Amino acid sequence: MNNKRMIASVIEIVLGLVLIILGHLGKIDDYWSGMGGGLLAVGVLRLIQQFRYKNNATYQEAVDTERSDERNRFLGMKAWSWAGYLFLLIAAAGSIVFKLLNEEKLMFAASGSVCLLIVLYWMSYLIVRKKY
Amino acid sequence: MKNRIEEIRKAKGIRQEELAKTLGVSRQTISSLENGRYNPSILLAYKVARCFGMTIEEVFLFDEEESV
């Protein structure tokens, strides 16, 4: 881990705090202040991880091994692949169910998700095919 | 793909943790390799073989039928 990640965490914390304060002052709506809370939580957690990484040799070794472990990367890719397939199936089934329920907006959202995922898959496939 | 990692490791008196540390992988990866649940990349297979002072063919057993 490097200083760039630490700087990114500090930016997340500052941005999160700014959004929360602006939300409390009524300048922005709850959506943005909620996002600020999320950013703050993520920033603080990452910062704690980075301090632990720098000061704890055992943790550093465990993190480095986890990152370099090829099976772990394989599992990550496999999990994304399964998640993509499941999302596709759920969205496709959802579009049919929403159509039957006359929920046009939700039906279009579900159908659009299926189309977008398929387009993204083919784009990724074409890029990966050239790369490897 | 079948392999002789567990057999060779035990014969050399190496623990899974030690082998994992030498190869820069997790202990779970060694366990998966030994059980045949995970097939390693050519790079990791080479590292395993070199760690045992053997060739890849001596450690990993190619099965013609399995590859079809």
Interface of B with A (CB under 8 A): 20, 24-26, 28-29, 32, 38, 40-41, 43-44
Probe site for chain B from A70, A72, A77, A78 (most B CB atoms < 10 A): A70
In which element (H, E) is residue A56 found? Answer: none
Residue contact A71–B26, C-beta within 8 A: yes
- pTM summary value: 0.78
pLDDT tens per residue across span A26-75: 888 889 999 999 999 999 999 999 999 999 999 998 899 888 899 999 99
pLDDT tens per residue across span B21-64: 999 999 999 999 999 999 999 999 999 999 999 999 999 998 77
Indicate the SS3 state at residue B47. Answer: helix
